Structure 1
Amino acid sequence: MKTSIATVCLSGTLDEKLRASAAAGFDGVEIFEPDFVSSPLPPRDVAALAVDLGITLDLYQPFRDFEGVSEEKLRHNLRRARAKFDLMNRLGIDTMLLCSNVGTAVSSDDALAVDQLRRLGDVAADNGVRVAYEALAWGRFVADYEHAARIVRSVDHPAVGHCLDSFHILSRGWDPVAIETIPADKIFFVQMADAPGLTMDLLSWSRHHRVFPGEGAFDLADFMGHLLRSGYDGPVSLEIFNDTFRRTDPFRTAIDAMRSLEWLQELASEALDRDGSEGAHMRVEPLPEMDPPVGFNFVEIRAEDGQRDRVRTTLYQLGFDDGGSHRTKPVELWAQGGARVVINNGDATAGAPAVAALGFDVADTHAAAERAARLLAPPVPREEGAGDEPLLGVRAPDSSEVFFGRIGAAGVPAWVAEFENAPVPAADSLVTRVDHVNLAQSWEYFDAAVLFCTSVLGLDPQPSLDVAAPTGLVRSQVMSAPGGAVRLVLNLAPAENVANPVQAQHVAFASTDAVAAAKRARQRGLSFLPIGDNYYDDLDSRFDLDPAFLEQLRELQLMYDRDERGEFLHFYTESLGSVFFEIVERRRGYAGYGATNAPVRLAAQHTRRAGLS
């Protein structure tokens, strides 16, 4: 599959956008006209830079408001077109994007549009270029790609064809199946975009909220299947209008963009396998197969010298056993049941405690690492001593580390034996495993984190939720493996509060008995996150709990939730820098996270941090 990206997707100057696109591995680039117009580089220098970088210039765009106009306006439009065709010749671009008219069309007569587009085709052919006509979702008279297809068919000119854009088709709910009826040689260009499911006007949705494939709600697998069966074998390009992407580092954004196209090839391959590949000519390369992770191998906490004792003490109070130090590395292990926390002692200036790495149990570590490499996840170097269990790692968009570990005998990874005390899980452990991990994400790379979890880790996004906090709304996106074996919760806090510990990371441990775990923790001196009486009074009104049980919850600072499937008990520790811990007990199939309790927890943490209690 030939990959391309529109310069509108990236921040920076035109030359920076071209360099970022080439560095990420794109084959080609669309030149967005405002990027060229504002650049000091003359056309010959832009063309030369593309050659030096090894990329092609695939499309010049957009050309607007051409067809359906008066004869006087048409003469002006043809003059504009001749000037752009001449510029394209100097840039070395052979295809121009023409959007369906939005602002100047005075007639809905298709015959008039056909005649005017045919005249444009004559001018294009004289200049050795082509015109790709695109139905904008908000076009004045042409908004449907099938309508545009009828017009192009009637134009019947070798220099006039189609540009198909997934956003303009899927945002209107059009069925992409008719793409297969368009002759492949008349599809001149294809632009891909995903988008979250929003209810708003199409123009605003398009101009501000497009995202890369795999980051939104569109069924792009189905779209790609129809496109491939049409016989199309040209560039598949990204055209993403997104306020965030236009503010972030272009090199990092370009890598995220290329990752999305690698993921799109996987979706396309699956669509062909599922629905048939007759007529497909484009070669798409599926990713190396990897089963989703089946558990957390470990969680690594990094902290500076003066902060680690707080982590050790809290883990002890939660019932974890000290597994001692590693035989060759400056790390120590704390374990309980199948939950393992590694404390990194290697950096005396690491700052407040924070989650630095996550390990996942996978069936094939090499397949997982190979897949991650194809998806442009940078590898994490790791020194291994003689006899050490190999752990293959990559870096996530938030710069945290992700490691792939083998599932060991009896569920215990082989690397546990490398620690001096090598704890063995007890059958009666109150904590059994890591239930889920919440990770705070910066506004710049939240969408990239969703794509990373989907494509690299094989986790499925669940419906997102906005949670009210004293400092603003927190967007919470759950990513989970089948059956909930692995749950990651990505939290996007208000931009000015990302560094606020209230909005930070936390590790939740699954327990067989949260009440017993809380009693043990209290006996060992744990500082619980204090929950006010108002919360428990509200619980009583909502659930009509047994008075003795309600009083027990209040006494132990336990929180509670219930749905049609079961019950949920949980409690939190105080924040330790940028991380805190949670004990959760899921009863009778409860699969949620106590969402109604999250605002209470956030308010309690904010109160503690502000010194108000």
Structure 2
Amino acid sequence: MAPRGGAAGGGGSGGGTHELRTSIATVCLAGTLDEKLRAVAAAGFDAVEVFEPDLLASPEPPAVLRRRVEDLGLSVSLFQPFRDVDDVDPAAVARNAHRLHRKCELALELGTDLVLVCSAVHPGAVRDDALLAEQLNAAAGVAASHGVRLAYEALAWGAHVSDYRHAARLVAAADHPALGNCLDSFHVLSRGDDPSGIADIPARDVFFYQIADAPRLSMDVLPLSRHHRCFPGQGEFDLERFHAAVVSSGYRGPVSLEVFNDLFRQADPVATAVDAMRSLRHLRDRTFRHRPGLPPASPSPSLPEPPAVREWAFAEVSSSPATAPAVTRLLAQLGFSRTGEHRSAPVELWSNGAARVVLNRRRDDVRAQVSALGLATPQPHALHERARTLLAPVVNRAAGPGEAEIPSVVAPDGTWVQFCGDGPGGWLTDFAPCGPGAEEDGREAVALTGVDHVVLPQPFAGFDAATLFLSSVLGLEAEAVSVVPGPAGLVRTRALTSPHQRVRVAVSVAPTSSMLRGRPAGAGHVAFAAADATAAAAAFRRNGGEVLPVPGNYYDDLEARYGLDAAFLARLRENDVMYDRDEHGELLHFATRSLSRELFVEVVQRVGGYRGYGAVNAPVRMAAQTAPPAG
């Protein structure tokens, strides 16, 4: 019998150095088929899966589309899906064979010899394995008569076949060279299955490999699949282990993203395709960096070793000239001093100990918002090269005479990320020392120790893209998503931290209705660390600052929940300081009034290794922020 697999499908094993080609399904992207193809090519993919609905909606015949794909430097890796190949009704089986003849001809016109066949989900699905293997053998015979192969996939909700191991047994029993398996991470991991069994499937029997991530949600796998899949690194599946299992099996075909996501289907296809490629490169990097013994079969190019993001250099706030005085007044009330003026731009440096804020007055289009993250790293250029390889847009930042070169990239939401090195010629040399301003006269010191974290508000469809960017480019570890109720709806937040907890960044999405009304419910903010939050709140208030008021009901509940010492609780109440506790320690924190919908300031005190962000207190804070912003 002829060996299974072939050059186009990619089954089979091999030695030496080889890479998995990259592919993506058209269902992942918004737009017309032509727009999708252009986005896929621009992101650097090798191939594309064509979904039949996209083909049916296209005004161009398959042969023309094939030329378009080739002109873009792509190939068609797969045509899909062919559904309901098996049936207990002989008449239905005959109709399926007729339909399959036409779809095989169509696949060849598109330029691929591989068609995906899903396990049946209809009531007439065959439930006898011997009969099902016989029907699969017959379907493979139909495909082989056209020079086409079939990749059989076990859907997680299949009527009879829902397990990849069951599908593999059926493929083996059907015993036809034109029939192989399609391994899909979603259909395996959404069921909680163990991917280690992939090693038991002969590599020649694996024709295709699809990958998708997803959050862990308490819902049936079908709606999870249809609405909530995401790219690797955006969900909670252990895709490193799955990818390692497929590579170790000897599979050498494409790795193809198949993601059904409501928001992706509404987003810019070019940006989504870039996220998709970034996710594959990041997956490859993590898998092989953590498992150096694996054969080097993976998307290319290899990523540079991720340099450490050591600590905060600064947080930049942009403000229009008209609203900058409100920002400087707040900074002075928080004990910051104006310590430097940029040598060539309307930019100021404000410092309070190790806490530094760069105030950029060049933006006429904003009231006040976080506009850049300054991150200290021993290898800024290496981190910049890693970011570039992960398709992060590079900032062409003009540096004047004597000014530092600061490698920078742009996050998906437009925030600049600037990599600041150590030693002579660092970023601080860009600022000429200056004396205090009038707003600093007579103010009391507020003891801050640095930047604790920054929260970046995201566009509604940008939450997952931001998570992937921060984890892949900066090497931050994503934590679980937090969902809290605000006055205008639910607010989602996800924190990402550096390995030593020195750099913390969170992304947040506010309800659309809240954003339209201009409320700050999901606003971004900078949180500064303090050794004593109650003392900092008291000093801030004596400097004329306005602490966000906390209702008395909150403190009554706090006493009931934690049984706090009466004097300690009184100090919290007096200073409008909130409290939380986890298994590692305690958190004391307070917030200022909002400067704009995009910015307020928080001061936090972590006691004994507390790792959270006070999410339980967020509804109280957001309710207080429904009052009109100050300024």
TM bracket (short chain)? over 0.9
Aligned to 1:203: 222
What do residues 83-112 of structure 1 show as CA deviations (whole Å, max 9, x unaligned)?
A: 111111211111000001111534311111
- Unaligned stretches of 5+ in structure 1? none
Are the counterparts in 2 of residues 70 and 106 from structure 1 also a CA contact under 8 Å? no
Match of 2:586 in 1: 567
Tell me which of 447, 450, 461 is aligned to 2:464: 447
**Aligned letter for 2:335?**
G
Task: Identify the range of structure 1 (338-347 vs 204-213) with the bigger mean alpha-carbon deviation.
Answer: 338-347
The question of whether the paired residues in 1 share the 8 Å contact of 2:519 and 2:626 is answered with no
Partner Cα separation in structure 2 for residue 104 and residue 93 of structure 1: 31
In structure 1, what is the equivalent of residue 175 of structure 2? 156
What is the match of residue 313 of structure 1? 329
In structure 1, what residue type is equivalent to 2:428?
Answer: V
C-alpha change, 1:78 and 1:564, in structure 2 (3 Å) is closer
Give the aligned partner of residue 353 of structure 1: 368
For 1:479-498, what aligned pairs fall within 5 Å after superposition? 479-498=496-515
Give per-residue Cα distances to partners, 1:345-381, cap 9 Å, x unaligned.
223x232101111111112111111111111100012
SS in 1 for 2:317: strand
Corresponding residue of 1:601: 621
Residue number in structure 2 paired with 1:340: 356
Partner of 1:376: 391
Verify the 8 A CA contact 2:420 2:427 in the aligned structure 1: no
Encode CA deviations 1:64-88: one digit per residue, 9 max, x unaligned: 0012433221110000001111111
Return the letter of the residue paired with 2:63: R
> Secondary structure of the residue that 2:79 maps to in structure 1?
strand
In the alignment, which residue of structure 1 is the partner of 2:477? 460
TM-score, scaled to structure 2: 0.92
SS at match of 1:257: helix
Matches within 5 A, 1:72-471: 72-273=91-292, 276-277=293-294, 285-347=301-363, 349-408=364-423, 414-421=426-433, 430-471=447-488
Q: Contact 2:446–2:539 (CA<8 Å) still a contact in 1?
A: no
Structure-1 residue corresponding to 2:601 = 581
Measure how far apart 1:408 and its partner are.
Answer: 4.7
SS at match of 2:45: coil
Q: 1:281 and 1:464, CA in 2 relative to 1: closer, same or farther beyond 3 A?
A: closer
- Which whole-Å CA distance do the structure 2 matches of 1:466 and 1:604 have between them? 18
SS in structure 2 of the partner of residue 267 of structure 1: helix
- The correspondence for 1:503, drawn from 522, 528, 547, is 522
Structure 2 CA distance for partners of 1:567 and 1:282, relative to 1, 3 Å: closer
How far apart are the structure 2 equivalents of 1:281 and 1:478?
Answer: 32
User: Aligned letter for 1:2?
Assistant: R
1-side partners of 2:224 and 2:485: how far apart? 24
Q: CA–CA distance in 1 between the matches of 2:353 and 2:465?
A: 33
Give structure 2 stretches of 5+ with no counterpart.
Answer: 1-19, 437-444
Shift of 1:608: 4.3
Superposition pairs of residues 11-22 of structure 1, within 5 angstroms: 11-22=30-41
Whether the aligned pair in 1 keeps the contact of 2:284 and 2:299 (CA below 8 Å) is no
Give the drift of 1:537: 2.3
Deviations 1:516-550 (A, max 9, x none): 22222122111221222222222233333333333
For residues 117 and 267 of structure 1, the distance between their equivalents in structure 2, rounded to whole angstroms, comes to 37
Q: Work out whether residues 68 and 108 of structure 1, in 8 Å CA contact, stay in contact via their aligned partners in 2.
A: no
Between 187-196 and 534-543, report the one with greater CA deviation.
Answer: 534-543
Question: Over aligned residues, Cα RMSD in angstroms?
Answer: 2.0
Q: CA deviation at 1:237?
A: 0.3
Amino acid at match of 2:126: S
Q: Secondary structure at the match of 1:40?
A: coil
**Contact 1:134–1:162 (Cα < 8 Å) also in 2:** yes
Alpha-carbon displacement from aligned partner over 1:376-414 (angstroms, at most 9, x marks no partner): 1000121112222221111111111111111458xxx93
Preserved CA contact (<8 Å) 1:224 1:271: no
Give the 3-state SS of the residue equivalent to 1:438 in structure 2: strand
Retained in 2: the 8 A contact 1:337–1:429?
Answer: no
SS of residue in 2 equivalent to 1:30: strand
Aligned-residue identity in percent: 50
Runs of 4+ that moved beyond 4 A: 280-285, 608-611
Report the secondary structure of 2:474's partner residue.
Answer: coil
Q: How many residues align?
A: 601
Aligned to 1:520: 539
Tell me, what secondary structure is at the counterpart of 2:362? coil
* In structure 2, C-alpha distance between the alignment counterparts of 1:342 and 1:456, rounded to whole Å: 23
Judge conservation of contact 2:348–2:358 (CA < 8 Å) in 1: yes
Instruction: Give yes or no for the alignment of 1:45 onto 2:45.
Output: no
TM-score w.r.t. the length of structure 1 is: 0.94
Shift of 1:318: 0.3
* Change over 3 Å in CA distance of 1:385–1:35 after alignment to 2: same
Preserved CA contact (<8 Å) 2:48 2:77 = yes
2:86 maps to 67
What SS does the aligned partner of 1:380 have?
A: coil
How far off its partner does 1:460 sit? Answer: 0.6
Q: 1-side partners of 2:628 and 2:209: how far apart?
A: 53
When residues 283 and 238 of structure 1 are mapped into structure 2, their CA distance, relative to the original with a 3 A threshold, is closer
